[in-house]
């Protein structure tokens, strides 16, 4: 396959990577089809592909692409954009998407913390279940505090490694 910049790619090596990385993501809990679509987008030089391109590369139906992209969009891992001068949509992996995915988990962890606090009060902090919930709450509070510092350290490191305007930049 020839990329837009004229470089040659080994289609078999790309396919092996996509399937291997997708299998790892699925093993970690991501649904299989979104994992394959995400790996395909991640491994494309442009970071963006149309539904037809994804369908051809992965040998899956447009309906499967649609469902996978919907899931990935909800997880803040891809976005939909209109191809200039066309009615076709392109799906793009977010720049610095791992950072964005972790940063967006912060809202979810806050909701979990609120629910856990209610659970501790409802079950009683001295009960076995209440203590278990309190420990879980303390873990999420700790993770939330550490995550903020870790993300800041990553921004500094990313700039050192790739420059302020890198392709990984979410800026």
Q: Does residue 131 register a pLDDT over 90?
A: yes
Closest CA to 153 of 74, 161, 7: 161
Q: Does residue 164 register a pLDDT over 70?
A: no
Shared domain for 86 and 137, answered yes or no, is no
Amino acid 168: pLDDT: 42
Give the range of the structural domain holding residue 27, as residue numbers without chain letter.
11-93
Helices (H), the chain: 11-27, 32-43, 51-58, 62-74, 97-123, 128-162
Question: Out of 34-38, 42-46, 106-110, which region has the weakest mean confidence (pLDDT)?
Answer: 106-110
Domain membership of residue 3 (yes or no) is: no
Shared domain for 154 and 106, answered yes or no, is yes
Q: Which of 72, 93, 114 is the last residue of a domain?
A: 93
pTM, whole model, 2 decimals?
0.72
Question: Out of 25-34, 37-46, 129-138, 159-168, which region has the weakest mean confidence (pLDDT)?
Answer: 159-168
Measured CA to CA, the distance from residue 29 to residue 25 in angstroms comes to: 7
State the CB neighbour count (10 A cutoff) for residue 98. Answer: 11
């Amino acid at each position: 396959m020839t990329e837009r910049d004229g470089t040659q790619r080994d289609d078999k090596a790309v396919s092996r990577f996509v399937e291997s990385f997708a299998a790892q993501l699925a093993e970690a809990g991501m649904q299989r089809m979104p994992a394959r679509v995400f790996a395909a987008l991640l491994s494309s030089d442009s970071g963006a592909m149309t539904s037809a391109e994804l369908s051809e590369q992965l040998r899956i139906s447009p309906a499967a692409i649609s469902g996978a992209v919907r899931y990935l969009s909800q997880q803040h891992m891809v976005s939909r954009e209109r191809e200039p001068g066309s009615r076709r949509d392109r799906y793009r992996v977010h720049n610095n998407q791992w950072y964005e995915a972790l940063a967006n988990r912060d809202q979810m962890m806050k909701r979990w913390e609120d629910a856990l606090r209610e659970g501790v009060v409802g079950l009683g902090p001295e009960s076995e279940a209440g203590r278990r919930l309190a420990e879980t709450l303390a873990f999420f509070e700790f993770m939330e505090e550490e995550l903020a510092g870790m993300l800041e350290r990553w921004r500094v490191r990313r700039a050192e490694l790739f420059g302020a305007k890198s392709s990984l930049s979410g800026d």
